[in-house]
Chains A and B, each alone.
Chain A
Amino acid sequence: MSFAGSGEARPGDIRVDLQLIADMVPPESRVLDVGCGDGALLDYLAREKQVDGRGIELSQAGVNACVSHGLSVIQGDADTDLHDYPANAFDYAILGQTLQATRNPKTVLEDLLRIGRRAIVSFPNFGYWRVRLGLLWHGRMPVTSTLDNPWYETPNIHLCTVRDFEALCADLGIVVEKRVAVNAQGRRGLLQFSSAFANLFGVQVVYLLRRR
């Protein structure tokens, strides 16, 4: 990856799911990226969209990589460290591919929409047809490109489907402003047609959410 100031950056530098998230963030907004990893998204947003970004990352190695490249990142945990932030501190609170690994996804989701005026959440869809078929056909826990750990060592303890997630949003009074599902090749195709389509053919989904 390349970082701010390297001057060799092009759109498309980052992972497909990160690009989908980045596309939802308007220029010059204030962003908190929860589970920011090595800072690829924050770096992209700072470079391409002049975003005022902060990050939280669980792994100290990730944090050190971010800070040593000039990004504002703290070591912390989505489950425990979101409470400190005041309401409306950010325009966008982002949680990329992390929701399914939290202990209390419901609380985390509520916190995201308290801290941020909007939230962007992405996760691997457990309703994807290969996942369904894997369990039905082989009778074993599914292992796919986005869920690539065997059951005994996966960090993903709260997996859900498109329908599960949208039901929770409805319960919490959260409005889905936008949903983008992508297939295994990272393409959108016809997946946006309906929830059922997205739930069956989407490998991963990205949501833009706001409070009602």
Chain B
Amino acid sequence: MAGNRDPIGEGSTVTLDGAALRLDCGSDLANATIAYRTYGTLNAQRSNAILVCHALTGDQHVLGTHPVTGKPGWWERMVGPGKVIDTDRYFVVCSNVLGGCMGSTGPRDVNPATGKPWGLDFPVITIGDMVRAQARLLDHLGIDQLFCVIGGSMGGMQVLQWAAAYPERVFAAIPVASAARHSAQNIAFHEVGRQAIMADPNWGGGNYLNQNTLPRAGLAVARMAAHITYLSESALHRKFGRNLQNRDKVAFGFDADFQVESYLRYQGESFVERFDPNSYLYITRAMDYFDLAAEHDGVLAHAFRGTRTRFCVVSFTSDWLFPTAENKAVVHALNAAAANVSFVEVATDKGHDAFLLDEPELFKTLGGFLAGCAEHRGLAR
């Protein structure tokens, strides 16, 4: 595999130039590029690696200034020197998912067969494909076994896929606010987002890059709808209530009268600056297709048969996108497989996004879990 260290410090890339990546859809993807960043130092035993899996619209920039937005990394509260995932102690790896738009091969990249951007000719990818690509990255980095794999939301799906597909490579697994399958309600929300993108005339059948257009409005609406699902009713009320935006009374029109409207419009518009609309279609599809039990005779417990991985499942009380019941279904399956599992439901009103926010109970739980695992793994303090 050919690796490349990015000289400007925005991360590294590796080209999977060995055997082509066999995708779940049946296609082979040759020479896929995986963009990744690492933080901390791999120890001599190569036993202190933690793979962080990002969510739908996240990327490999866990820490440090984001090269596109200029904002801090998406998990600086959790990862860093002295943090729960302590980069003074652990070697943290995070890669952009296959199908993404931050350096890993995705529909925005050039199809070598045509010399033009893939667009909708890009093969449909799955969570399993993303994880297979990550496993190849770890081969490249010389990491046989991860001390831990952790992620929230779609990142949690990858965690579960890792534990099921490569049990011997995962010492500990932390799926946060996740599920072993995407629910009908979640597929429904994703379909709304995709339809918004595809209904934008600038989408052009996914061919917008060749037409020099961009379905900005469609992607922004998709983001606005999705963003609502990441919050909770009480969090929205606490943040905005019925407060008006820069005015004393309603304007009897369709301008953004309310703060919540203004906030959502801003979320939509800023998202368009950093995300590829086709990538959004592909990654949401990968989540929709995720159903870990289906790959194991419909019995989720079979996905974890004989596992020696230590699990810590976390959910949030106000998360209605990946509710506690979905997380508990994973716990029940792990129990049925007699796996070593902890489960904590964190009380918060911040909704699904709580895994990205300042939640002391979450930090305390994961800190304790990781400390216990490190002791069992024999990692030095």
Check if A85 sits within 8 Å of B368, measured CB to CB. no
Residues from chain A with Cβ under 8 Å of B336 in the complex:
84-86
Residues from chain A with Cβ under 8 Å of B248 in the complex:
none
- Considering only CB atoms, which chain B residue lies closest to A61 in the complex? B347
A205 to chain B, nearest CB (A): 29
Check if B372 sits within 8 Å of A74, measured CB to CB. no
Complex CA distance for A89 and B338, rounded to whole angstroms = 6
Residues from chain B with Cβ under 8 Å of A63 in the complex:
342-344
A71-B372 in contact given A60-B347, A64-B361, A64-B365 (Cβ < 8 Å):
yes
Residues from chain A with Cβ under 8 Å of B274 in the complex:
none
Binary per-residue interface labels of chain B (345-357) against chain A in the complex, 1 for a CB within 8 Å, 0 otherwise: 1110000000000
Check if B335 sits within 8 Å of A81, measured CB to CB. yes
A89 to chain B, nearest CB (A): 4
Interface residue? B364 (CB, 8 A) = yes
Residues from chain A with Cβ under 8 Å of B312 in the complex:
67
Check if A85 sits within 8 Å of B345, measured CB to CB. no
- Considering only CB atoms, which chain A residue lies closest to B374 in the complex? A70
Interface residue? A54 (CB, 8 A) = yes
Check if B344 sits within 8 Å of A72, measured CB to CB. no
Check if A54 sits within 8 Å of B369, measured CB to CB. no
Complex CA distance for A98 and B344, rounded to whole angstroms = 21
The residues in A between 54 and 96 inclusive whose CB is less than 8 angstroms from any CB of B are 54, 60, 63-64, 66-76, 81, 84-86, 89
B347 to chain A, nearest CB (A): 7
Residues from chain B with Cβ under 8 Å of A73 in the complex:
342-343
Check if A75 sits within 8 Å of B340, measured CB to CB. no
Complex CA distance for A4 and B368, rounded to whole angstroms = 11
Interface residue? B310 (CB, 8 A) = yes
Residues from chain A with Cβ under 8 Å of B310 in the complex:
72
Interface residue? A7 (CB, 8 A) = no
A18 to chain B, nearest CB (A): 20
Interface residue? A139 (CB, 8 A) = no
Contact of B372 among A60, A70, A86, A89 (CB under 8 A): A70
A66 to chain B, nearest CB (A): 8
Interface residue? A5 (CB, 8 A) = yes
Check if B375 sits within 8 Å of A5, measured CB to CB. yes
- Considering only CB atoms, which chain A residue lies closest to B346 in the complex? A64
Complex CA distance for A89 and B345, rounded to whole angstroms = 25
Check if B335 sits within 8 Å of A75, measured CB to CB. no
A75 to chain B, nearest CB (A): 6
- Considering only CB atoms, which chain A residue lies closest to B364 in the complex? A68
Binary per-residue interface labels of chain B (71-104) against chain A in the complex, 1 for a CB within 8 Å, 0 otherwise: 0000000000000000000000000000000000
Complex CA distance for A60 and B343, rounded to whole angstroms = 10
Check if A85 sits within 8 Å of B344, measured CB to CB. no
Check if B367 sits within 8 Å of A68, measured CB to CB. yes
A4-B344 in contact given A69-B368, A84-B332, A84-B335 (Cβ < 8 Å):
no
Complex CA distance for A5 and B338, rounded to whole angstroms = 25
Contact of B375 among A67, A70, A74 (CB under 8 A): A70
Check if B332 sits within 8 Å of A67, measured CB to CB. no
Check if B338 sits within 8 Å of A67, measured CB to CB. no
Check if B338 sits within 8 Å of A86, measured CB to CB. yes
Complex CA distance for A72 and B337, rounded to whole angstroms = 15
Interface residue? B179 (CB, 8 A) = no
The residues in B between 222 and 258 inclusive whose CB is less than 8 angstroms from any CB of A are none
Interface residue? B150 (CB, 8 A) = no
Interface residue? B371 (CB, 8 A) = yes
Q: Apart from A4-B375, A63-B344, A85-B335, what are 4 other A-B pairs with CB-CB below 8 Å?
A: A5-B375, A64-B364, A68-B365, A81-B332
Residues on B lying within 8 angstroms of A by beta carbon are 310, 312-313, 331-333, 335-338, 340-347, 361, 364-365, 367-369, 371-373, 375
Task: Provide a sorted-by-A list of 7 A–B residue pairs whose CB atoms are within 8 angstroms.
Answer: A63-B344, A64-B361, A64-B364, A67-B342, A67-B344, A74-B331, A74-B342
By Cβ-Cβ distance, the 10 closest A-B pairs, closest first, are A70-B372, A68-B368, A74-B343, A89-B338, A84-B335, A68-B364, A67-B342, A84-B332, A84-B336, A72-B342
